[in-house]
Amino acid sequence: MPELPEVEVSRMGIEPHLTAQTITAVVVRDSRLRWPVPDTIQLLVGQTIEQVRRRAKYLLIDTSAGTAILHLGMSGSLRVVPLATPAAKHDHVDIQLSSGHMLRLNDPRRFGCLLFDPQPEEHELLASLGPEPLTDAFDGQRLFELSRNKKSPVKNFIMDNKVVVGVGNIYANESLFRAGIHPLREAGKISLQRYLKLAEHIKLVLAAAIKQGGTTLKDFSQVDGSPGYFAQTLYVYGRGGKPCFQCERELKEVKVGQRTTVYCGHCQR
């Protein structure tokens, strides 16, 4: 599933093509996504796109009438193509623009969504989300305070969207390794100083992934079809059984919350 950096890269790719364009039509070929595409999506027609932003893993296309809320699910992708481009299999929705181009949503597994809300911040999918990790609202002090008396593994804790959004499995693995924190350690037993270090590494890892175009794993590629390159700099994720880059001991691989977790038993405490 695309994580925060991949979604941000997608936002950066489509934003120049959408901002200030008028939506001339919304063509829904198949409304059967994770939730049915609502008929209210047609309220976008005739509206000018004010901005394209991201909240957690959701893309928000803002107009004065309301906001389109997009999620790419496990296999969704976006392309900006000329209006005359024939639809391919799994091209479920087109948002046509006054520029003569359109934003096309392709989703083979149909686990993504396209919704509409006049007040998106109050939508049930967004209302309870924690802060964005690359803002000043997120820091180690917040992690420390929210973690007190938490017995769950720290990896699960930092992946809780009410704590901080967008720290998905890949980037949780990488951030914990770089901070030297064992992913199975109880969240409530980690000190403030270690959380300050962890928060800093979360920011650094996510920023680096965005800069390198995301991490290409299975379905993800950038809006122009090119791959992301952060996978080439992964320290632990996908490397279970291989030598640690720091101590050369074998990396361990376990399941934490049904997610693959790779760590170094020597470097992470």
Element (H, E) at 71: strand 66-71
Query: Which residues does the annotation mark as catalytic?
Result: 2-3, 57, 259
Q: How many other C-beta atoms lie within 10 A of the C-beta of residue 160? A: 15
Per domain, the residue ranges of the chain are 4-122, 140-263
Q: Is 252 annotated as a binding residue?
A: no
Residue 171: per-residue pLDDT: 93
Predicted confidence (pLDDT) per residue in 34-82, tens digit: 999 999 999 999 999 999 999 999 999 999 999 999 999 988 999 999 9
Predicted confidence (pLDDT) per residue in 109-164, tens digit: 999 999 999 999 999 999 999 999 999 999 999 999 999 999 999 999 999 999 99
Give the mean pLDDT of 195-208.
97
Of the candidate CATH numbers 1.10.8.50, 2.40.50.140, 3.40.50.2300, 3.90.1150.10, the domain formed by 140-263 belongs to: 1.10.8.50
High-pLDDT (> 70) share of the chain, %? 93
CATH topology of domain 4-122: N-terminal domain of MutM-like DNA repair proteins (3.20.190)
Tokens (6 digits) for 39: 């008929």
Predicted confidence (pLDDT) per residue in 170-195, tens digit: 999 999 999 999 999 999 999 999 99
**Would the pTM count as exceeding 0.85?**
yes
Residue 39: per-residue pLDDT: 98
Contact 183, 170 (CB under 8 A): no
Residue 256: per-residue pLDDT: 87
Alpha carbons 226 and 56: distance in angstroms, whole number: 23
Residue 216: per-residue pLDDT: 43
Predicted confidence (pLDDT) per residue in 204-258, tens digit: 999 998 988 755 434 333 455 554 445 667 999 999 999 999 999 999 999 988 8
Q: Is 109 annotated as a binding residue?
A: yes
Contact 18, 79 (CB under 8 A): no
Of residues 118, 117, 112, 78, the one with CA closest to residue 94 = 78
Using CB atoms within 10 A of its CB, is residue 103 exposed (0-12), middle (13-18) or buried (19+)?
A: buried
Return mean pLDDT, the chain. Answer: 92
Residue 230: per-residue pLDDT: 53
Give the mean pLDDT of 85-112.
97
| Predicted confidence (pLDDT) at residue 4 exceeds the cutoff of 50 | yes
Residue 192: per-residue pLDDT: 98
